[in-house]
């Protein structure tokens, strides 16, 4: 249950497509807009940054799932019983933000050094925006969304991978459009950020046409499984995501914000 839960292989592919296109993280939630607007002037730069975001989000999504599962979730420290320590009642959910950001920052630093060594041109092109991936709200948001929805390991992996690919898709599309707009006759008052915001809104409206399609439906558990499986929802992470989005925490079993 920890690895696949009630998801089959087809549901995992559906989740990948859903996170990439149907619930595109940037165009549906408008998270990660700062680097999206700043680095979407050239397609080459956008592809380099998009690939970096995919790598960071996928790896840190896995690492933060492990942090949540074995450190910050309710009863996560029960594994310490193997060394004779009873820590099942210790609640470290208040450390979720700090630990998640620390994991993201550490991995971004490693990635930055790798890009500087093996691709100096891309490193110079990205400039300040590469280390700013650390505070990219899309990275932290996707990790928090995944743990709040209590995905097992492989659904979590496909979700964060799809979220990263969706962000890359959005910035690559915008970069291609802006390269075309650079040689087009745009009204002077709309040149630059003005026409970029308009095109982003139009792209978001186009992607909204997929809303309502659900491809990542897990198989329905049996009655015995439902009775045996405890409710492991973490109110700490629910409040964290609500704070990130600036909304009230969810009520009941509704997982949408």
Q: Which of the 8 DSSP states describes residue 69?
A: I
Max distance between CA atoms of the chain, in angstroms, equals: 72
Of the candidates 152, 143, 146, 145, the one whose C-alpha atom is nearest the C-alpha of residue 221 is 152
- Cα–Cα distance measured from residue 63 to residue 250, given in angstroms and rounded to the nearest whole number: 25
- Cα–Cα distance measured from residue 88 to residue 73, given in angstroms and rounded to the nearest whole number: 10
What mean pLDDT do residues 43-67 have?
91
Question: Of 120-129, 153-162, 188-197, which range is least confident?
Answer: 120-129
**pLDDT tens for residues 218-243?**
765 544 455 555 444 445 555 555 55
The predicted pLDDT at position 227 comes to 54
Residue the block writes with tokens 């499984």? 225
For the full predicted model, state whether its pTM sits above 0.75: yes
- Cα–Cα distance measured from residue 205 to residue 200, given in angstroms and rounded to the nearest whole number: 9
Question: Of 36-50, 67-81, 153-167, 229-243, which range is least confident?
Answer: 229-243
- Cα–Cα distance measured from residue 250 to residue 238, given in angstroms and rounded to the nearest whole number: 7
Tell me what the pLDDT averaged over the chain comes to: 83
Question: Of 91-100, 119-128, 133-142, 202-211, which range is least confident?
Answer: 119-128
Of the candidates 227, 244, 245, 250, the one whose C-alpha atom is nearest the C-alpha of residue 97 is 244
- Cα–Cα distance measured from residue 32 to residue 148, given in angstroms and rounded to the nearest whole number: 19
Tokens of 105: 């920052």
Q: Is the pLDDT of residue 194 over 70?
A: yes
DSSP 121-161: HHHHHHGGGTGGGGG-HHHHHHHHHHHHTT--HHHHHHHHH
What mean pLDDT do residues 54-83 have?
90
What mean pLDDT do residues 143-156 have?
91
- Model confidence band, residue 245 (pLDDT cutoffs 50, 70, 90): low
Break the chain down into helix, strand, coil percent, rounded to 5.
70, 0, 30
The predicted pLDDT at position 112 comes to 87
Higher pLDDT, 240 or 18: 18
């Amino acid at each position: 249950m920890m690895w696949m839960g009630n998801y089959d292989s087809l549901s995992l592919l559906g989740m990948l497509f859903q996170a990439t296109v149907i619930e595109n993280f940037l165009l549906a939630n408008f998270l990660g807009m700062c680097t999206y607007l700043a680095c979407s002037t050239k397609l080459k730069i956008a592809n380099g940054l998009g690939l970096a975001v995919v790598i960071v989000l996928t790896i840190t999504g896995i690492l933060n799932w492990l942090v949540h599962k074995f450190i910050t979730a309710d009863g996560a420290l029960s594994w310490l019983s193997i060394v004779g320590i009873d820590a099942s009642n210790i609640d470290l959910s208040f450390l979720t933000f700090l630990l998640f950001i620390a994991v993201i920052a550490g991995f971004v630093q490693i990635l930055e050094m790798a890009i500087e060594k093996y691709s100096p041109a891309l490193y110079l092109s990205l400039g300040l925006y590469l280390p700013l991936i650390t505070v990219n709200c899309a990275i932290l948001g996707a990790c928090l969304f995944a743990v709040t929805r209590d995905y097992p390991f492989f659904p979590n992996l496909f979700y964060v991978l799809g979220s990263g690919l969706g962000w890359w898709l959005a910035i690559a599309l915008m970069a291609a459009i802006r390269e075309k707009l650079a040689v087009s006759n745009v009204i002077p008052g709309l040149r630059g950020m003005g026409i970029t915001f308009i095109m982003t809104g139009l792209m978001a409206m186009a992607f909204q046409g997929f809303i309502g399609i659900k491809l990542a439906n897990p198989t329905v558990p049996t009655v015995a499984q439902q009775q045996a499986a405890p409710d492991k929802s973490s109110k700490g992470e629910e409040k964290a995501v609500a704070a990130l989005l600036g909304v009230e925490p969810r009520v009941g079993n509704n997982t949408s914000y």
